[in-house]
Each structure stands twice: as C-alpha cells, then as structure tokens.
C-alpha cells in the first residue's frame, strides 16, 4: 500500500511539473511586430473541430482588430492533414491571403476530401482563383520543413489537441482554449482582457530584452467570404 501511494505521489508531482512547464513554454508565443495582441492557433486541416473554430477565430479577430498567427499541427492519426498543410504553405507563397483562403476552402469541403483526392481539391481551388499549380509543389522540401517546425513547436509547448488557441499579448499569454464551444464563448472576452493589459508599443519595445523566439512568417489577411 505504501509503495502504491508513493507512485501516486510521483504521478501527481509529474503532472504538476508538466503543467508548470506548459505555462512557462507558452511564453515563447508573442504577437507579431506592430501588434500588442494576437490570436495564435495550432490547427489541423483534417480536424472537424478546427473547421468549426476557424470562422469564429476570424470573427473575433476582425471585431477586435487583432492579427491571427497560424501554426500547423497535423495530427498523426489524420492521413491527409500534413499534405494539406504543405499545400496551404504553397498558396501562402503566392499571397498570404490566398493561403488562408485555401485553408477556409479545405475546411468548407473537409468531409469530401480524402488522401487520394486532395490533389484534385487543390487543383480545383487553384482554378477558382485563376492560378496554376506545378507538377511538384515542394521540390526542395522546404515547405514540409516549415510544417514540421510548427509541429515541433507545438509539442514543445504542450499542444495535444486541435485546435489549441491562445490570446497572446506583450504583457503575457492567456490560458489555452481547446474546444470549439469554448472558443465561441470565451475568445472575445479573452482578447478584451489582453488588450486592457497590453503595454503601448513604444513601452513594450523598451522593456523587451529580445525579439520573439518563434513566429510564423505569414501573418495572414482576413479570408474572403465564400461565395
């Protein structure tokens, strides 16, 4: 019995340390240059909850005039999520707005997409947007490396589910949101609270000892409305 209790205590201690590490690691998330507050999302394009949360995130961002920073976190159990993320990075190269329109397009058609027909959906999106796609979207593997780098960042800060969403400011980081219903109910209030605590940009620049450690390069524009 004593041995069993010791293992329970060890497990509880490990959980406590894990939670502390998670909170500390999340501090690497920063708003992009020129913003005091941003929404940071770790997403999986094959995730049904991500497809529901995606428009909610943009509604909140537009309402509060804050940017959205997207990170890829394709879950291993989803067999086309990684390739879809690479395609999104491909369209990001054409324009950040097109990359995010592609994400919106994939979410809207998610239930019809399979690993075998993903290329056809990418071609359909390209045609509708009057652009073309090459025979090889990522010949040197750099886009795939960007997706992997996002995934590794997510692992390092404790992401386990998609979507995982933070409101980040130059004064701190919110608790993560991991359920679509919580996103709709809580996101706006979290943004308002973070905006209320944010330092003016000039003050934040003076107080900041270093630049943000990790930041996705494409802070994307608001996606166009479907239709």
pLDDT tens-place string over residues 86-122: 999 999 999 999 999 999 999 999 999 999 999 999 9
Decide if 83 is inside a domain: yes
- Domain residues for the domain of 40 are 28-207
DSSP SS3 for 113: coil
- For residue 18, is it within any domain? no
Domain assignment present for 192 = yes
155 belongs to a structural domain: yes
pTM for the model: 0.78
For range 130-143, the mean pLDDT: 94
The answer as to whether 167 is a domain residue is yes
- Cβ atoms 17, 154 nearer than 8 A: no
Total domains in the chain come to 1
At 196, which CATH number? 3.40.30.10
Has residue 200 been placed in a domain?
yes
Cβ partners under 8 Å of residue 151, min gap 6: 72, 73, 74
Determine the pLDDT at residue 200.
85
Does residue 10 sit within a domain? no
Residue 19 in domain? no
Q: Which helix (H) or strand (E) holds 169?
A: strand 164-169
Residue-wise pLDDT tens digits, 170-202: 889 999 998 777 888 899 999 999 999 988 876
Tell me the C-alpha to C-alpha distance, in Å, between residue 96 and each of 100, 103, 116, 221, 224: 6, 11, 26, 7, 12
Reported as a pLDDT band with limits 50, 70 and 90, residue 23 is very low
């Amino acid at each position: 019995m004593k041995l069993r209790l010791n293992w329970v205590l060890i497990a509880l201690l490990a959980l406590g340390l894990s939670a502390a590490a998670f909170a500390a690691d999340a501090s690497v998330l920063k708003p992009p240059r020129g913003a005091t507050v941003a929404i940071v999302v770790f997403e999986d394009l094959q995730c049904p909850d991500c497809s529901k949360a995606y428009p909610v995130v943009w509604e909140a961002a537009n309402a509060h005039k804050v940017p959205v920073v997207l990170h890829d976190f394709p879950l291993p159990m989803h067999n086309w999520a990684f390739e879809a993320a690479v395609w999104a990075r491909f369209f990001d190269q054409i324009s950040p707005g097109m990359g995010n329109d592609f994400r919106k397009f994939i979410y809207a058609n998610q239930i019809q997409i399979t690993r075998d027909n993903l290329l056809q959906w990418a071609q359909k999106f390209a045609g509708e947007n009057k652009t073309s796609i090459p025979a090889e979207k990522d010949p040197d593997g750099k886009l795939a490396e960007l997706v992997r780098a996002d995934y590794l960042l997510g692992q390092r800060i404790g992401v386990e589910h998609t979507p995982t969403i933070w409101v980040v400011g130059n004064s701190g980081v919110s608790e993560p949101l991991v359920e679509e219903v919580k996103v709709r109910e809580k996101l706006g209030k979290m943004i308002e609270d973070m905006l209320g605590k944010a330092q003016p940009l000039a003050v934040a620049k003076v107080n900041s000892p270093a630049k943000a450690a990790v930041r996705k390069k494409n802070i994307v524009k608001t996606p166009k409305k479907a239709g």
